[in-house]
Structure 1
Amino acid sequence: MRTTRTGTLTALGVCAVLAVGPLTVPAEAAVDSADLRLEQWGLDTVGAAEVWEETQGSGVTVALLDTGAVTDHPDLHSVTVGPDLTGEDLSPDSDGYGVHGTMMAGIIAAGGHGVEHTGGVMGAAPEAEILSIRVAAEPDGPGGGEVDQAALAEGIRHAVDEGAQVVCIPLPASAFSAQADQAAQDAVDYALDNGVVVVASGGADGAAVYPAAYPGVLAVGSVGPDGTLSASSSRGEHIALTAPGEEIIAPQAGGGYATVSGSDAAAAFTAGVAALIRAEYPQLQPEQVVEALLEGASSGQAGQPGHGAGTLSAPGAFKAAGTTAETVPPFDPDLAEQLADEPLVPGWVLWTGGAVLLVLLAVIGLVVLGRRSADPYDLRTKEPEQAAPERRPVRGRRRRGRGRRGVSR
């Protein structure tokens, strides 16, 4: 990674404001916007703006495991400062804090500034949120930015537990390790098992380096404006994809802008596009997101050493992700969170139903108790036998004779 500072045009802006009048939009923002946007060749190559009509990454958190990111740059609108796992326990206002990480945060999610955000620079997913977790010191500082693998593993797990959907590890070449670490690999597996995409810069050497070479990690190489592989990019077989990584303009800690070169910038671009996919298709699993990124890549240099599947294309990846999503049931994260926090049946229904049930049980209990008290041995009283109905005496009928008694002739 190498950086160069770009000068601001403050004097020109002030002169323009004085010449035009106080009611006009400050010329500094307009001039800055024109110059900086024209210099964002990487953003144009990726084609992120072609996807912004669908989504700009809103609702997605990208965990940035780097040297930290500042929160006061006007182009960075949503940066949450996480823990410092380096043991230095620095804060964002400390000297030398977040030089590299702030630039990576800008490539991922810068949103410009000024009227309708026309000033400054834009990132690949301008509405995504950044969770900054400091796992490395600055490359030009003591130790050369070397990363402790235990800190890296802890950072990945912390990102997952905080709800990040994408983990980006855009470390410079000096921060890579030639040896794998089981704790770090377990942390990567933990992220994948929890639906988190893990992206890392691919390094500068041909040999596999870590964390880029851990199974499940999307390792990214760097290309220039002409699509050729950068001299500083790895030619290793672990490289799965390439992205713009030469003279990429980005926000600088302390204000202003700088350019950065290396596969670290390429990884940041890729993490931003992954955030766009996660925002639009949250039901996709990490391997499906990675497959969309690879399938949608521009295949001009695909298959050549260090190029992987080709160069990152946001529209191509978005289209591939949409095709995959047609076969995956939609998932509403807001509804899932609501169901997790609230029961399926409202509380008042449960309380009312419980009270009614208790009343019914009480009534039934009283009835049973009353019957038991009246007839403790459960003996039924026999009904009295009915007396036989009284029979009337039967009277004979007199027989009428034909003659008369006592009559003589």
Structure 2
Amino acid sequence: MRGSVSTGSKPAPSDLLHGTAVAALLVGNADSRSPGLVPQAELVAVDAFQKVAQDQRMDAFALIEALDYLTAQNVRIVNLSLAGPPNAALAGQVGQMAAADILMIAAAGNGGPRAAPAYPAAYDAVLAVTAVDRRGQVYRRANRGDHIDLAAPGVNVWTAASIRGARTKTGTSYAAPFVTAAAALLWQRDPSLSAAQLRDRLRASARDLGADGRDAIFGDGLIAAPPPC
């Protein structure tokens, strides 16, 4: 999200690379180099980003419009691989979605250990996901704070780099899909679970990392894949 965007002319559309990488992590293509975590899942993808110089940005109004659209599509789980400053209107939209029993999972942000909390991850109704490497070490640029809920792989994660190519990606944006995939598998097995119950199960099954118990770096710990049926 990176804050709001204001230009004198119509902004350029996003280059789709970030969204493609996140989507490929989730659903991918079984016959490609990016098979996906839940390849059979139905994905509703919304691109509300704009290209500003070499960056991809989104204003709060575009994000709210995108979330409102997803709500209208009756989605149950929303992956938010983006981060930005707090916004009162966005907080209201998040509250409405929580009341509609929608589970929201968001990237914690890549501002660094001393950065202020990033949103929407820092809202209470949203699961905030940080990134770790293969050794369970936190990504050096990941945001920290008491709002962090879970950790997931997000350092040198293999995924799509374009429509045809693939490469490794790093950041909390790429950690969030691992939690989203775990939530989707849990919900698939038991569609009666509420968003709150999904949250509780994901956090309760996490493997503790760092200091004993919940902490400001890893939250409740590393996301665990649901056991086979």
Q: TM-score, structure 2 length as denominator?
A: 0.86
Task: Decide which of 247, 270, 277 is 2:156's aligned counterpart.
Answer: 247
Q: Does 1:108 align with 2:19?
A: no
**Residues of 2 paired with 1:143 and 1:283: CA distance?**
43
Q: 1:234 to 1:89 in 2, by over 3 A?
A: closer
Aligned partner of 2:181 in structure 1 is 272
CA contact (8 A) 1:124 1:269 kept: yes
CA contact (8 A) 1:235 1:306 kept: yes
Q: How many residues align?
A: 216
Task: Decide which of 123, 128, 138 is 1:214's aligned counterpart.
Answer: 123
Q: 1:249 to 1:170 in 2, by over 3 A?
A: same
Q: CA deviation at 1:144?
A: 2.7
Highest CA radius of gyration, 1 or 2?
1
Q: For residue 183 of structure 1, give the secondary structure of its aligned residue in structure 2.
A: helix
Aligned partner of 1:147 in structure 2 is 58
Equivalent residue runs for 1:157-306 within 5 Å: 157-171=68-82, 176-178=83-85, 180-205=86-111, 206-301=115-210, 302-306=213-217
Aligned partner of 2:45 in structure 1 is 132
Q: CA deviation at 1:89?
A: 8.0
**Residues of 1 paired with 2:204 and 2:54: CA distance?**
39
Higher helix share: 1
Between the aligned residues of both structures, percent identity stands at 26
User: Where does structure 1 lack aligned partners over 5 or more consecutive residues?
Assistant: 1-64, 66-86, 91-95, 114-118, 320-409
Q: CA deviation at 1:255?
A: 0.6
* AA in 2 matched with 1:224: D
* AA in 2 matched with 1:146: R
Query: For 1:300-327, what per-residue CA distance to the aligned partner results, in whole angstroms no more than 9, with x for missing partners?
Result: 33534310000010126x89xxxxxxxx
**Residues of 2 paired with 1:274 and 1:111: CA distance?**
20
Query: For 1:108-146, what per-residue CA distance to the aligned partner results, in whole angstroms no more than 9, with x for missing partners?
Result: 111321xxxxx52222211112211112235xx427323
**Residues of 2 paired with 1:238 and 1:311: CA distance?**
15
Aligned partner of 1:121 in structure 2 is 34
